[in-house]
Amino acid sequence: MIFLHDTIYLDNAATTAVSPAAKEAFCAACECFGNPSSLHDLGFSAERLVADSREAVAASIGAERGELIFTPGGTYADNFAILGAAKRYARRGGHIITSAIEHPAVLETVRSLEKEGFSATYLAPDASGHISAEQVARAVRDDTILVSLMLVNNELGTLQPVKEACRAVKRIRPEILFHTDAVQAYKKIPVNVRTLGVDLLSLSGHKVHAPKGIGALYVKKGVRLLPTVYGGGQEHGLAPGTEPTPLIASLAAAAKAPVEEAKLNELREYALARLAAVCPRAEIVSPGEAGGIFALTVRGLRGETVMHALTQRGIYISTGSACGKGKPSHVFGSLPLERDALAGVMRVSVDAATTTADLDRFAATLAEVIEELRPKKN
């Protein structure tokens, strides 16, 4: 495809460009090609690199090195956490609490457990896309063993009260495990497992400028998970297989980058202001709160149609989670949106490298596209 203008990428919630630091770390680690499990010098060098990387990623979330498991990505981390916890602690009960707006990596995993005899409560968000700590606490039962509540929603940019919900749950029954999918929160807001109080936390590398194929799972000391994949016993037996040293090193490089919260909030608010000024037909569905994410809609037009028109002009946004592959979003569908508003929903997600000039052009181009596409009256 030939673009008419320079590219403006506003789909950072789907994936991010690999940073120079992560790329450099990856390439350097490719020279350290020994197997970290090998008992010779090349293996020891790779093992040290993995250990140093684990230290860096663990430190970035306030964890200890021994509490961090490297995984093939955020989806695997969610699966390992939920399946491993549910099956390990099934003797305590079989009830799981989650929300209706979780990522499919959580929802589909919980649904798979329901087919095995577990039960689940799916909490509905309010009109603004929030789950309350009180909702979570009210859902606790005598047989509840696990709660999974995401920290930042990947389509709305809403910040969920994980710390407050975790405290409320632990006051009722301290033994209930609490998991949070922090994929859209990590490096975008401060994330500290001690402050949050959670037992399990998932993160993903490609959302924070590391390559695809690497993620991590925090497992609080003392928590035991049953493995769901079997092999040589690497990563505490939870994610067995030869460690991908270059990917792990690149995640560590990304982990050392500063948290981008202030810049992302500034850019998100600027984008919302520009849209209000030059594109009044774009209605804000969710202004977002974190992660540089917000959602809008254009009544009378399909979101896919607008998205493709913007793509032709070199501007990239999305109509929801990339994992949905064009299917209607369960997140937007959970909000009280009228049919024409729901059909036109789109997600915008900025990055710290996004400029105000990019957002000026986005808002102006969106206004032009809407004018071109909207039905003309005879």
> Tokens at residue 345, please?
């929903």
Q: Write down the catalytic residue from 27, 166, 279, 323.
A: 323
348: β partners: 294
d(CA 174, CA 317): 42
Residues 6+ apart with CB under 8 A from 231: 240, 241
Longest CA–CA separation in the chain, Å: 79
Q: H or E stretch including 348?
A: strand 345-349
Instruction: Determine contact, residues 160/133, Cβ cutoff 8 Å.
Output: no
> C-alpha angle with apex 70: 113 to 59, nearest 5 degrees?
115
From CA 47, how far away is CA 259, in angstroms rounded?
Answer: 28
Active site residue 166: no
Helices (H), 94-244: 104-114, 133-139, 162-172, 193-196
Q: What span, in angstroms and rounded, lies between the C-alpha atoms of 365 and 378?
A: 25
Directed axis angle between helix 261-278 and helix 356-373, to 10°?
Answer: 40
Question: What is the set of active-site residues?
Answer: 323
